[in-house]
Amino acid sequence: MLMRQKVFSILALLLMTVTGAMAQTETLLTTITATGDKQASYSTANVATVSFSYTAGGSSAYLANWGWWGYGWSATVNAAEGYTITKCIFYDDANRTATDSEAPFVVETTEEDKTPRINGTPILAYTSKGIKKIDVYGYVTPTATPFDLTLATGSNAHGTVAFTVGDAAATQALKDDVVTVSVTPADGYTVKGVTAKTSSQVVVPMTNGDNGWTFTMPEENVAVTVTYAKNLQDAWIQSITDQTYTGSAIEPTIEVKDGEATLVLNTDYTVAYSNNVETGTATVTVTGTGNYGGTATANFTIVADKSDLNDDITEAENYYNSIKDTNPAAAATLLEAINAAKAVKDNADATQEQVDAAIAALAGAKTTAEDTVLTETKTALNDAITEAEAYYNSIKDSNPAAAATLLETINAAKAVIDNADATQEQVDAAIAALSTAKTTTGDTVLTETKTALNDAITEAEAYYNSIKDSNPAAAAALLEAINAAKAVKDNADATQEQVDAAIAALAGAKTTTEDTVLTETKTALNDAIAEAEAYYNSIKDSNPAAAATLLEAINAAKAVKDNADATQEQVDAAIAALNTAVETVKTEVAAGIIAVGSDVNDVNCCDMNGRRVSKPTKGMYIVNGKKVFVK
């Protein structure tokens, strides 16, 4: 079998050299006849030879009647140089034939069987003993003509080009030779394409393989054209600005420049992107086309989208500033979340996941702070309601209209307190409304109290005028209080407390003055009583009737004097009554007028005619020798 493989290789090579040549006429080239010579090699006129080989146990011999025979041997028919075998006809010992039309042309026997076989098939099964002769058919191999291999102009502009046939450099090739074109591009260039045309401008099919470009040589001269592409460089890709994360693939427009020339997308290059969704480093790969080749890469950075985070931080800071004074504990907790979010915002390498987490954490912290503030604000509203109710109770009797208006706002605030779903805005509005209502009520009450102060001043001034002559010292003290009250009344910024204090002070001063005046008046009453008693004692014997009348007035005055609860009016009336009684008695005594009772037995009473009268009526009489007027 080894011999068969070698012969096949040689024959195949021979066949390749003549493939495509002009059609050749098959003729009988020679006949090789078995003879008694040693079975080693037979040749005929240098046209064909028969070579023998044997297996380890094989042997053969020549017999005149059988020809070549034996077992374990093979004989191969080979063409001599310049000839091509197309078929062989093998003749056995009985002149029977078998045609072998496929190379290699081999006859063989096995160690177990002496029957000749042509390429493994017995000639005439088990009846043949040997091979007597072989007719060899074919033709004389024509001589091949070489054709030129040339390079088109410019094919060496950016590289070197070489032709090889087999392993040898070549400038020519025979028809059907496989020509290899090897191109070594210069630095910075790559091979764009390799084409070939015959001298008649027929395109020669070209195959791009691992070791170069190959084509089968036609029956014409061939010119090969090599074109080159300038390799792209990483530095040609202009700087790409940072891109903001979108959640989708990001494909920024790029600029590629060869020196001052700007390359054109899809004409000079194509673009592909990778790792261009998540934050971090993304890559753009540029692949040359047209006059450019190779690839170049550049990186760009996808940064996290912090716009929502920035907005949320601003919103949270505004909320923090609105509560830091009123709700410091909740504000402090929120501030920690704000600072954590700012740290992520200021981190240039923060991933989108970190930014999203910071947004969520800040939103949660703000919600917690809002819930806390709402709870605290409801507590503040409750306190405000308690305070407003206390104020309401303090004014409902003295200022009922203002108190009623305030009560409506108190009830509205209570409705908000009782509403479990009340929002922060509603609670804040309730507090503000209650504060406004309380302020408005306070202003109303203050106005009404100032009116009361003005009335008190008017009353005090009237009282002052009534005593300033009779009680100058007490009046002077009262005047000071009146002037102080007027100062408060004229003060546009006077507070409720100041007005209340002024009213109280004026009332106290007036009461003190009244007490002082009452005391002084009681002293005057006492003096009047003493004076009346002295006069009484001076007339009780001479004018018993008049003295009796005066005594009644004295006793009435004493009753007032001794009454600890006697009012100023009662004391004044007692003094006036006593003084009037004294003056009346004095007038009557001076005029001789007496008061006579119904019984005048003890009195010598006569009318003006001298007649005794026991029960005088009103008129002029003579009593005890004096002319008197009886009332």
Cross-strand pairs, 150 = 223
The predicted model gives 8-35 an average pLDDT of 60
The pLDDT confidence band at residue 23, using thresholds 50, 70 and 90, is: low
Give me the helix-helix angle, 496-539 and 568-591, nearest 10°: 20
278/356 Cα distance (integer angstroms): 13
438/391 Cα distance (integer angstroms): 8
What is the chain's Cα-based Rg?
Answer: 74
Question: Picking from 31-35, 110-114, 174-178, 415-419, which range would have the lowest pLDDT averaged per residue?
Answer: 110-114
What are the distances in angstroms from CA 256 to CA 2, 273, 295, 309?
A: 62, 15, 12, 35
Of 95, 89, 106, 11, nearest in space to 50 by CA: 106
Question: Picking from 39-48, 244-253, 546-555, which range would have the lowest pLDDT averaged per residue?
Answer: 39-48
The predicted model gives 111-137 an average pLDDT of 78
Whether the per-residue pLDDT at 14 is higher than 70: the answer is: no
533/581 Cα distance (integer angstroms): 12
The pLDDT confidence band at residue 593, using thresholds 50, 70 and 90, is: low
> For position 595, what pLDDT does the model report?
56
Domain ranges across the chain: 2-140, 146-231, 234-303, 307-467, 521-630
Beginning with the edge strand found earlier in the chain, give each strand of the sheet holding 207-209 in spatial order: 168-169, 159-165, 178-185, 212-216, 207-209
The pLDDT confidence band at residue 20, using thresholds 50, 70 and 90, is: very low
Q: Which residues neighbour 494 within 8 Å (Cβ) at sequence distance 6 or greater?
A: 446, 450, 488, 502
Pick the CATH number of 521-630 from 1.20.1270.90, 1.10.287.470, 1.20.120.350, 3.20.20.100: 1.20.1270.90
**Under DSSP, is residue 312 helix (H, G, I), strand (E, B) or coil?**
helix
Ramachandran area for residue 294 (φ above 0: left; ψ -120 to 50: alpha; else beta): left
628/498 Cα distance (integer angstroms): 67
The pTM of the full predicted model, rounded to 2 decimals, is 0.48
> For position 3, what pLDDT does the model report?
35
Distance between first and last Cα of the chain? 193
78/87 Cα distance (integer angstroms): 11
Whether the per-residue pLDDT at 4 is higher than 50: the answer is: no
**Under DSSP, is residue 35 helix (H, G, I), strand (E, B) or coil?**
coil
For residue 98, give the H/E element and its range: strand 97-100
The pLDDT confidence band at residue 9, using thresholds 50, 70 and 90, is: very low
Mean pLDDT of the chain: 88
Q: Which carries the bigger pLDDT value, residue 598 or residue 457? A: 457
50/79 Cα distance (integer angstroms): 9
- Residue 410's Cα: distance from chain center in Å? 41
* 45, HSE (Cβ side, Cα atoms, 13 Å): 8
The pLDDT confidence band at residue 232, using thresholds 50, 70 and 90, is: very high
Cross-strand pairs, 75 = 52, 107
* Range with top average pLDDT, 43-52, 134-143, 188-197: 188-197
Model confidence pLDDT, tens digit, residues 530-545: 999 999 999 999 899 8
For residue 49, give the H/E element and its range: strand 48-63
> For position 316, what pLDDT does the model report?
96
Question: Picking from 88-102, 163-177, 255-269, 306-320, which range would have the lowest pLDDT averaged per residue?
Answer: 88-102
Model confidence pLDDT, tens digit, residues 416-463: 999 999 999 999 999 999 999 999 998 898 888 889 999 999 999 999
Model confidence pLDDT, tens digit, residues 497-530: 999 999 999 999 999 998 899 898 899 999 999 9
Instruction: Provide the CATH topology of domain 234-303.
Output: Immunoglobulin-like (2.60.40)
Burial of 109 (0-12, 13-18, 19+ CB in 10 A): buried
